[in-house]
Chain A
Amino acid sequence: MILPFFGISLILSLLIFLFPNRIIMAAGSILFVILHCLLTVYAYENLGSFDTAYFQFDSLSVLLNALLSILLIPTIFHSNLYFKRHVNDVKNESRFAATMIILSTAISSVYFAENIVVTWVSIEATTLCMTFLIFHNRYETPLEAAWKYLFLSSVGIAIAFLGILILATQATSPEGANLSVSYLASVAPNMDPFFLKTAFVLILTGYSAKLNVFPFYAGTIDAKTVAPSPVNAIFSTAMLNAGFIAIFRVYTVINQTPLNSWAQNVFLVTGLISISLATIQLFRIKRYKRMFAFSSMEHVALILIAFSVGKVGYYAALLHLIFHTLIKGGLFFQFGQVRAFYHSGWIKDTGAYLKLNGTGALAFLLGIISITAIPPSGLFITEYMIFKALFSSGYIATAIAVLIMLTIILYIVISKTMHLLFAELPENFKPEAVFANRFEPVSQFVLFFAVIYMGFNPPPILTELINQTIQLLN
């Protein structure tokens, strides 16, 4: 199933690219989303089974692919609005849509890959697609961001490859190096601890560009600052999840050895450094998208910290990842509308949004309440679970430090939101230039309310998939 999916996606992408026409683009994009949803359903139906030697449908990959399928539906709608507002050139639009299809396919490939080299190749493919999407409008700042993202990610990926090679030394079978995750996990107890530790650190460092955490976070933050909102809705969610699953695969290997507590400490250190950097950087924030990018960094840091606690933190971490995906996607969709009103992403150029666009402002406010984990947000439940796990496991100083940083972040994000909603209308605001669509906030309300509902009443299918993922670590 997965190879035909790749093949059809490639054909659709080529058709859209070669025949720049809005009807072909719309039909191709819708067909791709249907295909993607079908892949998710097929993967769920065949949970646990292999698809060729290199791909497997496991619970985490199904979960993350389902999230991508869900996000792709509004992405088509919001991309169309983005084209009308900022592009208006059918060739450029077609290039954008074709690259988006390849990107989504590559992300799904990362999710389902059962071999860490296939994961690596797919991640490299996502980097190239993302670079083109960031730069598709060919302005100066996107070029700078695209260059930094491409270069830092490429160096990161090269470092991750070193880690994979070192892991290969420990995974020699009679047929040569076998780098399938299941084989690596089975031979992990016999691996040399020094090599396993080195490989883990190199892979975590290399993929940190994708996960948006320390040390290679800078290029990603810049890229998110200028990427179009529909791209950011995938970049800050599905792409970030791809980085997470790539590291998760290696963690499942190291988890089979006595080194698992060491790996958890590495997660803790990475998480603490990342959340500290995000807090410091947020003090001088001047653009909304950059604020959201650092917010993603904060949430991934929290997920890593939850993982560092061990079993008691796994459930909360995975649920946090899912909720963050849905909320951040919605927030970027709403920010597309904010940008359409003010024609700027700078905080200083905004104000009086509640007066200008009441429904949009409500969606934005609900999104901010959700992302900052204020009740009734689902993230409040997961953060409560994370702190409960930290306190019950004796990480009291860590928990207090993280709580202080979260409070600071909450203050900064809320104050910037208040500026958008209630500040004076900017002097250069031109009401006649606003292009609004009354259905635009619908997707955000659906996503935010879904998170609120799932926080209090997680569907059995979600709990089942998360528990099965946790089983992979036991």
Chain B
Amino acid sequence: MVIVLIVLFAATLIYFFLSERVANFIWLLSVQGALLFGIAFNNLIHIKTLELIVILLETLIVKAIVIPWFLNRLRHKNQLKRVHESKVPVFYSLILISAVLIGCFLMSYTIDNEVIQLRFFTVALATVIGGMYFIVIHKNIFSHLVGFLIIENGAFLLSLAVGGEMPFLVSLAVLLDVLIAVLVIGVFMNKVKDTFDTISASNLSQLKD
């Protein structure tokens, strides 16, 4: 079961690079949140109820519902439909992200560590690299926010890979921190659009000497 969810998660990562529609990005993030819940629920079923509730909050509520809802509001407010300005053609991006997945898969099996669950680790690492690449190839700041959330999802998957169960309060603080950061980034994105009348990062260059 878990392996199917992980494969589906990897598929969403590839689909991010195929798509140019902003609505698809949001939908994919929501799907990733739901998949993360499934993976976490299967993997951490033995943990305490309170900690399970935090994970449920983080994945199903925050990642799959709250953040996509918030991003949709941003999309409507800023009238975003398509992202055309990727610096690299889709075909090359697809080849690259596939190569990253294969590379991470090969690298993971060279790691000799009993704590790490390799099936998670492979996709987690590819997701983090994929998120960074997504930020680099896009010029608009909404896509940058999407890339940041992909990295966050990769980090969550990595935390499952290492099986590190943080104390309850610490998990809650991490969850709140990430949520607030995303909301604040979103609010600032609105401000950028209102002030500069665009969300293209190339227009944010007044500070250069």
Contact = CB atoms under 8 A, between A and B. Distances in A.
Interface of A: 115, 117-118, 120-121, 124-125, 127-128, 131, 135, 140-141, 143-148, 150-151, 154-155, 157-159, 161-162, 165-166, 168-170, 172, 176-177, 179, 192, 194-195, 222, 225-226, 281, 284-287, 290
B198 to A, nearest CB: 12
Given A148-B204, A168-B162, 4 more contacts: A117-B174, A147-B191, A147-B204, A162-B154
Contact of A290 (B113, B166, B209): B209
Contacts of B158: 162, 165-166
In the complex, which of the residues A120, A128, A161, A170 has the most CB atoms of chain B within 10 Å of its own CB atom? A161
B155 A140 contact: no
A194 B111 CA distance: 9
Contacts, number: 118
Contacts of B141: 147, 151
Nearest to A346: B209
A222 B207 contact: yes
Contacts of A118: 170, 173
26 contacts: A115-B170, A121-B174, A121-B177, A128-B180, A128-B181, A143-B195, A144-B192, A144-B204, A145-B207, A147-B141, A147-B191, A150-B185, A154-B181, A154-B185, A155-B135, A155-B148, A161-B155, A161-B174, A162-B155, A162-B158, A165-B158, A166-B162, A168-B162, A172-B163, A172-B164, A290-B209
A158 B113 contact: no
Interface residues of B, number: 41
B188 A131 contact: yes
Interface of B: 111, 113, 115-116, 128, 132, 135, 141, 144-145, 148, 151-152, 154-155, 158-159, 162-167, 170, 173-174, 177, 180-181, 184-185, 188-189, 191-192, 195-196, 204, 206-207, 209
A127 B158 CA distance: 23
A287 B148 contact: no
A195 B207 contact: no
B196 A140 contact: yes
Contacts of A128: 180-181, 184
Nearest to B116: A169
Contact of B165 (A121, A159, A177): A177
Nearest to B132: A155
A154 B167 CA distance: 23
Given A150-B185, A172-B115, A285 B204 contact: no
A118 B111 CA distance: 29
A169 B113 contact: yes
